[in-house]
Amino acid sequence: MKQVICIHWGTKYGPPYINRLYGMVARNITPPFRFICFCDDPTGIRPEVETLPLPEIDYEIPKTRSGIWPKSRLWGARLGDLSGPVLFLDLDLLVTGSLDPFFEFGAPDDVILSRNPSNPLERLGQTSVFRFPVGKLLPLQEIFKADPLGVAEAYRYEQRFVTRNAPGGVKLFPRGWVAHFRRDCRRITPLNYLLPPKQPKDARIVIFPGHLTPEDAILGRYNANGATSAREHLRRLLTGRVKSRRLGHIRHFIRPAPWVADHWRE
């Protein structure tokens, strides 16, 4: 039985993201499978999704500018009635191909992360997509529990903490399976003003780190406050309504990506 999990707290995303994620998974996985969402409020979540309370913890999640440390709830000894390997997926990603290979790669006891392209000089995994056996990451939770803020400040991102400290080390999914929207799909300047973002041919999942969401990609804006036309985007540069560097502002424009809408649906 394939087991897919996600986690949701607060109001940043909400049921629409969970429901779309389930739809994308169901269309791209060979049954049987379970889809479980650990959440603080199951209201509005489609009935096919198994909802369970957030795993209990006896420490306080540090408030930091970097990292998504509430994911540490998943590192405990138990996750509901689950056992064996589980595939974790972030809520704001896009499933564009079969997920079956994510369950076939490596051994059942392996901790396997997607590749993080941000720092090519560092072997770093990405926890937007990762597989692990329930309970194997308990030693990480114990380390984190002893000094949550200290660990968060030392590693900045939870994925670096997992990469460097997972028992037995980590493996990385093959290159190309998981694409990074801003790095792999966005066109270089000036083509970003002329052509829509490209869909990576062999990618099975497209992740959206940062502030650019699938909804933004569909609308053709770089973030929730971004302009949806090239004229308005460049006009903001000329009128001084730019918070980032001028060159960065020129680069941070995308045209609508219809292929994202084709996948990002219930």
pLDDT digits (tens, 9 = 90+) for 191-220: 999 999 999 999 999 999 989 999 999 999
pLDDT band at 34; cut points 50, 70, 90: very high
Tokens of 264: 């990002």
pLDDT of 243: 62
Count of all residues that appear for the chain in the document: 266
What was the pLDDT predicted at 144? 97
At residue 71 the predicted structure's pLDDT band, cuts being 50, 70 and 90, is very high
137-152 mean pLDDT? 97
- Which of 13, 8, 7, 4 is CA-nearest to residue 224? 13
Q: Which CATH number fits domain 2-172: 3.40.190.10, 3.30.1020.10, 3.90.550.10, 2.40.160.210?
A: 3.90.550.10
Give percent of the chain above pLDDT 90: 86
Helices (H) and strands (E) in the chain, counts: 9, 10
When comparing pLDDT for 96 and 243, which is higher?
96
Element (H, E) at 215: helix 214-219
- pTM equals 0.95
Kindly tell me if the per-residue pLDDT of 153 is higher than 90: yes
Starting at the earlier edge strand, list the strands of the sheet with 85-89: 50-53, 33-39, 2-8, 85-89, 125-133, 112-115, 171-172
Output 64 or 57, whichever has higher pLDDT: 57
Beta bridge partners, 3, equal: 34
d(CA 175, CA 206): 12
Residues 6+ apart with CB under 8 A from 63: none
Lowest mean pLDDT among 65-69, 121-125, 168-172, 213-217: 65-69
Instruction: Compute the half-sphere exposure of residue 18: CA atoms within 13 Å on the CB side of its CA.
Output: 28
How many CB atoms lie under 10 A from the CB of residue 154? 10
- Give the residue-averaged pLDDT of 88-117: 97
Which residues neighbour 231 within 8 Å (Cβ) at sequence distance 6 or greater? none
pLDDT at 242: 66
pLDDT at 244 over 80: no
Task: Dig out the tokens for 47 from the structure.
Answer: 């009935």
Cα torsion angle, 155, 69, 131, 166, sign: positive
Q: What is the mean predicted confidence (pLDDT) over 102-117?
A: 96
Domain residue ranges in the chain: 2-172, 178-263
239 confidence band (pLDDT: 50, 70, 90):
confident
Amino acid at 104: E
H-helix or E-strand spanning residue 77: none
Joined together, the tokens standing for residue 26 give 């169901």
Mean of the per-residue pLDDT values of the chain: 94
pLDDT at 241 over 70: no
